[in-house]
């Protein structure tokens, strides 16, 4: 659906060259909600501006629905752009126009008939849950309502692709959630492919199927959200993942441990990581009942991503050495990643 082939993009200003994208390869399939995450300046907005060809690549090809954008005439580009909607962090609504007029703009540009525009705008207002706001002005709306209008405008042309550049960054957590739910509904109901840029991992966690992590113009890691969250490889990815999945023992627990257990040597400490199937099995129960070890759960954290449970747990095992070793073997056999932690390592 959307393909980047060896795409590089340089900007030049006053003789200074910025390499905003460096040899990017990425495939976004039809129907995906594809998240692009990275710190400020990583090149995320540049990447989406290439999808609607607001920017041209310095090198490489951007291919949309099997058409190489470099090779299209202006007319063909206009057609492709009509099938791409975009929403922004600051909504970009025209302040002097009513909500109705803002949503109608793309349809007026297409020279649609008045009755068709009227019907479509009211349909869209209903869809985004603001059927009663047609005659309001943007300044009379809350941030969340403005973004709903931005979304309605982006959907006016029945796009195949929706680009969201930090669309929830100016909103509070509850409003963010409602906008993400709306984007999910758009994806599911209309099979619109969504490319969603963010610097917040919880946004990716909530609705994305796939994610690409960007740093300094490069994609450093990409794949299914559950795989990237479960096994982040690059340090930057690990930093992002740690903002939503807490896999460190809280400091209070560490202090307690050092005080109470640090001196004893018949207790071993482990970090267990669960992903998907392994998270739904009663493995800890099995250790207690069958492996005859005492399990002390120090800290556990679980998240649900794309209907998969992902979690980490810190436990102490107490018992006979062979039973503990047997327990570890059992856990690994059941897909749990087990790492032993030395008591002396944790302070």
Task: For CA atoms 131, 135, 140, 143, give the dihedral sign.
Answer: positive
Measured CA angle at 203 (ends 200, 205), to 5 deg = 110
The conformation of residue 56, written as its DSSP 8-state character, comes to -
> Among 34-42, 68-76, 118-126, 325-333, which window interacts with ligand ATP (CB under 6 A)?
34-42
User: Residue 141 or 197: which CB sits closer to ligand ATP?
Assistant: 197
Nearest CA among 67, 225, 224, 73 for reference residue 160: 67
**105, 153 contact by CB (below 8 A):** yes
89 binds Mg ion (CB under 5 A): no
Residue nearest to Mg ion (CB): 45
Q: The tokens of 152 are what?
A: 């309605």
Which residues 19-48 are close enough to bind Mg ion by CB under 5 A?
45
Least distance from ligand ATP to the Cβ atom of residue 154, Å: 19
Binding-site partner at residue 190 among ligand ATP, Mg ion, none, CB < 5 to 8 Å by type: none
**333, 325 contact by CB (below 8 A):** no
Binding-site member from 6, 11, 59, 142 for ligand ATP (CB under 6 A)? 11
42 binds ligand ATP (CB under 6 A): yes
> Among 43-51, 61-69, 80-88, 274-282, which window interacts with ligand ATP (CB under 6 A)?
43-51
- Length in residues, the chain: 347
Binding-site partner at residue 20 among Mg ion, ligand ATP, none, CB < 5 to 8 Å by type: ligand ATP
18 binds ligand ATP (CB under 6 A): yes
Least distance from Mg ion to the Cβ atom of residue 166, Å: 6
Q: What are the E-state strand segments in 144-192?
A: 161-165
The conformation of residue 307, written as its DSSP 8-state character, comes to T
168 binds Mg ion (CB under 5 A): no
Residues 6+ apart with CB under 8 A from 174: none
Least distance from ligand ATP to the Cβ atom of residue 197, Å: 7
22 binds ligand ATP (CB under 6 A): no
Which residues 197-256 are close enough to bind ligand ATP by CB under 6 A?
199
Nearest CA among 30, 75, 26 for reference residue 53: 75
Least distance from Mg ion to the Cβ atom of residue 197, Å: 6
Which helix (H) or strand (E) is 301 found in, with range? strand 294-305
Q: What is the DSSP string of 193-205?
A: EEEEEES-HHHHH
- Which residues in this chain contact ligand ATP in the complex, by CB under 6 A? 11, 13, 18, 20, 38, 40-46, 199
């Amino acid at each position: 659906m959307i393909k980047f082939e060896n795409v590089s993009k340089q900007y030049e200003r006053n003789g200074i060259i910025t390499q905003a994208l460096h040899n990017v390869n990425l495939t976004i399939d039809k129907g995906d909600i594809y998240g692009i995450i990275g710190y400020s300046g990583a090149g995320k907005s540049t990447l989406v501006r290439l999808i609607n060809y607001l920017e041209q690549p310095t090198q490489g090809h951007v291919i949309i629905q099997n058409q190489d954008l470099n090779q299209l005439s202006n007319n063909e580009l206009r057609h492709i752009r009509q099938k791409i909607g975009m929403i922004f962090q600051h909504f970009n609504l025209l302040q002097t126009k009513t909500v109705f007029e803002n949503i109608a703009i793309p349809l007026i540009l297409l020279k649609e008939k008045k009755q068709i525009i009227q019907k479509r705008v009211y349909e869209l207002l209903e869809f985004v849950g603001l059927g009663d706001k047609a005659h309001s002005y943007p300044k009379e709306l809350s941030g969340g309502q403005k973004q709903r209008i931005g979304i309605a405008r982006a959907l006016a042309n029945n796009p195949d692709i929706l680009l969201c550049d930090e669309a929830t960054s100016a909103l509070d957590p509850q409003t963010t959630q409602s906008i993400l739910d709306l984007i999910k509904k758009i994806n599911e109901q209309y099979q619109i492919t969504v490319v969603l840029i963010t610097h917040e991992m919880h946004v990716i966690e909530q609705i994305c199927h796939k994610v690409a992590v960007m740093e300094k113009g490069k994609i450093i890691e990409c794949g299914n959200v559950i795989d990237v969250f479960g096994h982040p490889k690059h340090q930057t990815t690990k930093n992002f993942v740690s903002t939503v999945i807490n896999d460190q023992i809280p400091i209070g627990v560490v202090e307690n441990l050092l005080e109470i257990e640090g001196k004893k040597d018949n207790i071993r400490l482990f970090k267990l990581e669960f992903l998907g199937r392994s998270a739904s099995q009663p493995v800890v129960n099995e250790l207690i009942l069958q492996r005859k070890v005492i399990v002390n759960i120090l800290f556990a954290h679980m998240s649900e991503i794309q209907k998969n449970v992902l979690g980490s747990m810190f436990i102490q095992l107490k018992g006979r050495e062979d039973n503990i070793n047997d327990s570890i073997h059992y856990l690994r056999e059941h897909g749990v990643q087990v790492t032993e932690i030395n008591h002396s390592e944790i302070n």
